[in-house]
Structure formats: C-alpha cells, structure tokens
Amino acid sequence: MRAMVDYEIICGDCLDVMAGMEADSIDVAIFDPPYGIDESSKKNASRSKLAAVRDYGEYSWDTKRLSPERIAHVRRVSRNQVIFGGNYYADLLPPSPSWVVWDKDNSGDFADCELIWTSHDRAVRKFKYTWNGFIKEKPEFRYHPTQKPLALMVWLIENYTNEGDVILDCTMGVGTTGVACGHLGRRFVGIELDPGYFAIAEKRIRDAYDMAAGEFKTLDGGGDMADLPIFAEQAKA
C-alpha cells in the first residue's frame, strides 16, 4: 500500500500565496495557466457539431495571460516546471529541449495538439489521448472548459516527477492535478482564485486521497503540513 501523503489547497491569488513560499521549496510545478485566448467566454458552446456541448457560463479568467511576475514566482519556488500552453509563454521562458506534444485527435476548429513546456533536460515526448470537445477517449465529466484529462495528468506526473515529490498547481481549476497526485503518492499544493472551482477541486482531491490511502486529513488543521518545506517557516512562527 502506498504511504499516506499530505496535501494543501488554498483559495486565493497565486501571486499572494507564492510570495510567501521559500525558493526551491516545490519539486515540480505542473499547471495550466490562462492562455489569453478567451476560452473562459461562451465561445466553446459553438465549436463542435459532433457532440453535445456544455455551457460553462461566462467568465473572464482567460482574457489575458498570467503576468510575468507570476511566472517568475513559479520558477523561483519550484525546482522544475511543466507548463501547459508553453507556446503562449515562450517570451517568458528559457529555451528547452524538453517539450511534450499532447495529440488531442481533434476535429473542427479545436487545436490538433497542445504544447507543454518543461524545464527538464530530455527529449521531446508525445502523448496521444482523444479530447475532442465532448468526444473523449474515456468517459470523464468535465466541470471546466479547459479541464485536462486525468490520464494526461497521471502520465505527466509519472514521467516528470518522483514518488514523494511536492507538486504545485498554482492555477488549480477543478483540481485534476491534485487528483492525479493523490492516486500516485505525491504531496500536492494547489491554489485557485475562483471559489466555485475551488469547491469542486476540494471534493475531488479529498476523494482521491481518501481512495488512495484510506484516510483524509482536512484542509483546516486536521492535516499537518508543517513537514513540507514551503510551510516550515510558517509553522515555526
């Protein structure tokens, strides 16, 4: 049985939270930032004619990219990074030999692939998994218009992290990175600004860690996170 691992999720602005984190306190940051292409609006509702489309409502979180300051903070607090939409942030990231190409097997005006930048020193890899609007390789409920498949997050964590690592998702959304971490024995720190998405993530991640370890440590004091390096100084204060 995999040893019990901890997690902490925070509803707040990632800039404020990361400003209080120690440098290199996270092993790997894996996150899917807004690309600034307005996927948070209702435009997804008219993009597919092959399957029914969910109306996610209209938000403004994808009207612009993460600020350079936020990207700099992520790179300061983490030893390595795996960043979705790296092509939208190429001007803020150093050259890398290690990209991941996610082949989504798409049709219509959905992108055929997504490009994931990593800070690792290894060859380019491809992951093929159908995610064509609501046509998916395996059934999976979508709570969020830019939600990533659990299989992809599991593959990334298996290939770009080590068991026991502390993983950060600073734009957590509905928590799929945290769910994968729960299944794979990684410690997880997640940050999400939107209270609605945070509530969904909280339940999904709790259930994942519950299932993996048979025990749940609560977010409001029941789980001792003081042994994690990013919270060590706060615990001493």
For 42-83, the pLDDT digits (tens) are 455 544 454 555 554 555 555 788 889 999 999 999 999 999
| Rounded CA separation 211/205 (Å) | 10
- DSSP class of residue 7 equals E
Mean pLDDT of the chain: 81
Strands (E) located in 16-112: 26-31, 78-84, 99-103
Element (H, E) at 183: helix 176-184
Q: Is the pTM of this model over 0.85?
A: no
The predicted-structure confidence for 212-221, as pLDDT tens digits, reads as follows: 866 544 333 2
Q: How far apart are CA 136 and CA 174, in angstroms?
A: 18
Q: Assign a CATH topology to domain 7-236.
A: Rossmann fold (3.40.50)
The residue extents of the domains of the chain are 7-236
SS3 236: helix
Task: Say whether 197 sits in a helix, a strand or coil.
Answer: helix
HSE toward the beta carbon, residue 215, CA cutoff 13 A: 11
Question: Is the predicted pLDDT of residue 91 greater than 60, yes or no?
Answer: yes
Candidate from 44-58, 127-141, 184-198 with smallest mean pLDDT: 44-58
Asked which of 97-101, 135-139, 162-166 is least confident by mean pLDDT, the reply is 135-139
* Alpha carbons 189 and 128: distance in angstroms, whole number: 27
